[in-house]
Amino acid sequence: MQWTLADLKDTKRTQLFYRQSVWTRVTHWVWAVTLFFMVTSGLQIFNAHPILYLGQQSGFGDKQYLGPQAGHGNKQFNNTILDIHAERHEGGIVGVTSILGHDFDTTGLLGMSGSKDQPIYQAFPEWATIPSYFDLATGRVIHFFFAWILVPTWCVWLCASVINGHLWHDIVPKLSDLRLLPGDIISHLRLEFPRKRSYNVLQKLSYAAILILVIPGMILTGLTMSPGVDSAWPWLLDVFGGRQTARLLHFCGMLVIVLFFVVHIVMVIAAGPINEMRSMITGWYRGDDPEAAGGGA
């Protein structure tokens, strides 16, 4: 069901009800800011060594690199999963993204960006990183600053959601929800979005994946990459299969969060941005759930 002009005028057919608690709204906007800076500063950190490995140690192939990672190539063992770099070919220098040994030309986006007159030899382009220029030290300061905002915010959200029932009622999908999954997928493909107080099953699955699995996983893999933490909690290395595997999982978690953000924004626009934004700012949502008339939660 989509919003129309008649829906906005005819409030008799819909009801305004309280959908988002203050804890959900505050943590939502804190996450929006912190994750933006953490992703962009994380890409800055990644540019210092844009290669991902599997295991405890990092091995290298025999490629010769340009840019910040110059000099990394040698003939040690190769446990590389992802490698973004610039290579000198007969026709000139190109950006290359290598995944499990398969090379893809990503000139202009990954490995090599900028103009022909002023090419930039780094994994991610300047517009995607904070700072925009290569500065590992500043990137680390920004990343860790917002990480220490993200962690307590997630803890506050978890405690509040357990106490007020938001976690069990709105986030964790139940068996009855999963039975509705095929129909919910079809409704989304048709751009039909029922306006109810409770989340649909696709929302529950995606929110549960991000809030219960991905964000805690990002926190733990980030800690695993710290030698100081490893000396205090060496079991983290066993849990994640080594420091380099933890870095790989950390990067994959970032990709999942970026994908979730893109889909989330698209869904907000498709479902009615004014109503969705009002819900996340004031807590009040206009929908067609008869049981939520004048309700509060």
Residue % of the chain over a pLDDT of 90 = 64
Q: Please state whether the predicted TM-score (pTM) of the whole model is above 0.85.
A: no
pLDDT, tens digit (0-9, with 9 covering 90-100), for 156-194: 999 999 999 999 988 999 998 899 899 989 988 888 887
pLDDT one-digit tens code per residue, 266-284: 999 988 899 999 999 999 9
Helices and strands counted in the chain (H then E) = 12, 8
Whether the pLDDT of residue 86 is over 80: the answer is yes
CA distances from 187 to 178, 200, 271, 279 (A): 15, 11, 12, 22
Q: Domains, the chain, ranges and CATH?
A: 5-49+129-292 (1.20.950.20), 51-123 (no CATH)
3-state secondary structure 31-46: HHHHHHHHHHHHHHHH
